[in-house]
Amino acid sequence: MQRIEKIIEQIGPLDKEAMKQARERQDFLTKPKGSLGVLEDVSIRVAGITGSPMPEIVDKVIVTMAGDHGTAKRGVSAFPQEVTAQMVYNFIRGGAGINVLARHAGARVVVVDMGVAADLEPGPALVNKKVNHGTKDMTEGPAMTREEAVRSITAGIEVVEEEMEKGADIIGTGDMGIGNTTPSSAITAVFTGRDVRAVTGRGTGVDDAALENKIAVIEESLKVNRPERSDPIDVLAKVGGFEIGGLAGVILAGAKNRVPVVIDGFISGAAALIATGLAPQSKDYLIAAHRSVESGHTIMLEHIGLTPLMDLNMRLGEGTGAALGISITEAAVKILREMATFADAGVSESE
C-alpha cells in the first residue's frame, strides 16, 4: 500500500503553462480557429499531461491484462472460462483483434497475466504478475483479499514503470477475462450509486434470461459484501478482479509518469473508477477512447467526467478501442507539431 500511496502523492496537476502555449500555437496554425475541434482539445491536454507545448508520441504501448473470475461459473458470460487462457495465447501469437488494431496504430501490446485460472506457459511475450488463479465467487464473499487487491494495483504500477524505462510515450489499457463485465458493473453501481440494472449489459452477448441472472448475481454480491465506496481498495477486493486492479495501477502510474493513458471500454472504465477514487487528479491524464455498447459505460464515463472520442458500437475489450483512440491522439499531437503557421505559409488570417 505504501508504494501506491507514494505514486498517488506524485501525481501532479496538468502543466497550465504548456497548455497555454499549445493553445496559442493552435490559433497560429493555418486553419480557422477551433476548426479541428476535438483534435485541438486533445493536443492541448497532451501538452498539459506531458508538460511539453509540442509533445511527441513515438513509443505507443497497450497494456492488456488478463484475469479470471469466480463468478464465471454462475453463468454470467456466453463463453466458458477456458477462453481467457486461450485468448492470452491468441494475443501472444498476434491473432486477436487487439493485435490487428495495435499494429494498425503502430503500438506494442504488452500482455499481462494478472490472475488467469490456468497455469500459462511462460515466455518472453507474457508478463507474469499472477496474483492468484482467478478471483473467488463474489456472491459467497470477497472476490479477493485486501492484500491481493493492493498487490494487483502494485503489479499494474510495476508494468508501467518497466514500460517507461523502454520509452513509452502513451499507454492504452485493455482487458481479457471471461465474466469481467460482472465485477465492472458491480464497481459502477457502487461508485455511481445507480441501480445494478441500469449499469449491467449483455457483455459478450448473453440472452434475456442470462442478463436477469447476471443482474441477480451482481445484486447478491453487493448484498453479501457491502463494499465501501469511500475505500476503493475495499470495492476492488470485494467485487473486483485482478485485471481491473492491475489496470487501476496502470492508470495511476501513467498519471505519475505524465503520459496520456487512453482507456478502452467498460472494464478499463471500472479500473478508472478505482484509480480516480484513489487519486481524483489522475482523471486529467485519461483519454476515453470510445463509448462502449455496454450500457453502464456512459454512466461511468459521466461519473468520472470524461467524453469519449468515438462511438463505433464496439464491445470487444482487449484494448481494441484504445488502439483506435491512440491513433486519434497521435494525429492530434502531430497537428500541433507539423502544421505550418499563417506566418510560415504566407497565408492571410481571418478579417
209 binds its own copies (CB under 8 A): no
Per-residue contact track with its own copies, 158 to 197, x per CB under 8 A? ----------------------------------------
Angle ∠(15,280,71) on CA atoms, nearest 5: 135
Please list every residue from 34 through 53 that binds its own copies, using CB under 8 A.
34-39
Which of 12, 95, 280, 305 is the binder for its own copies (CB under 8 A)?
95
Contact between 285 and 305 under an 8 Å Cβ cutoff? The reply is: no
**Distances, alpha carbon 263 to alpha carbons 214, 301, 331, in Å:** 25, 11, 17
DSSP letter for 208, please: H
Q: Which of 13, 165, 209, 351 binds its own copies (CB under 8 A)?
A: 351
Residue 78 CB, nearest distance to its own copies (Å)?
Answer: 4
Single out the catalytic residue among 318, 338, 349, 351: 318
What is the rounded distance in angstroms from the CA atom of residue 215 to the CA atom of residue 196?
Answer: 6
> What minimum distance in Å lies between the beta carbon of 176 and its own copies?
11
Q: Positive or negative CA dihedral for 324, 326, 328, 334?
A: negative
**Shortest spacing between CB 151 and its own copies, in angstroms:** 29
Nearer to its own copies, 165 or 351 (CB): 351
Q: Of these, 46, 101, 190, 273, which contacts its own copies (CB under 8 A)?
A: 101
**Catalytic: 121?**
no
C-alpha dihedral sign at 165, 262, 269, 255: positive
Closer residue to its own copies in complex, CB, 38/58: 38
Per-residue x/- marks for its own copies, 103-142, CB under 8 A? xx--------------------------------------
- Which of 93/166 has CB closer to its own copies? 93
Single residue of 271, 309, 322, 326 touching its own copies by CB under 8 A: 309
One-letter amino acid at 96 equals A
> What does the DSSP 8-state code read for residue 30?
S
**Strand ranges across the sheet with 170-176:** 126-128, 107-115, 60-67, 170-176, 261-263, 286-288
- Residue 265 near residue 315 (C-beta atoms within 8 A): yes
Q: Between 321 and 350, how does the x/- string for binding to its own copies read (CB under 8 A)?
A: ---x--xx-xx--xx--xxx---xxxxxxx
Q: Does 28 bind its own copies (CB under 8 A)?
A: no
Q: Report phi then psi at 127, rounded to 5.
A: -90, 125
The residues, ordered by sequence, that sit 6+ positions from 176 with a Cβ below 8 Å of its Cβ are 64, 65, 66, 67, 84, 87, 88, 91, 243, 317, 318
Task: Name the residues that contact its own copies, by CB under 8 A.
Answer: 29-39, 78-80, 82-83, 86-87, 89-90, 93, 95-97, 99-101, 103-104, 204-205, 293, 309-316, 320, 324, 327-328, 330-331, 334-335, 338-340, 344-351
Which residues are catalytic, by number? 318
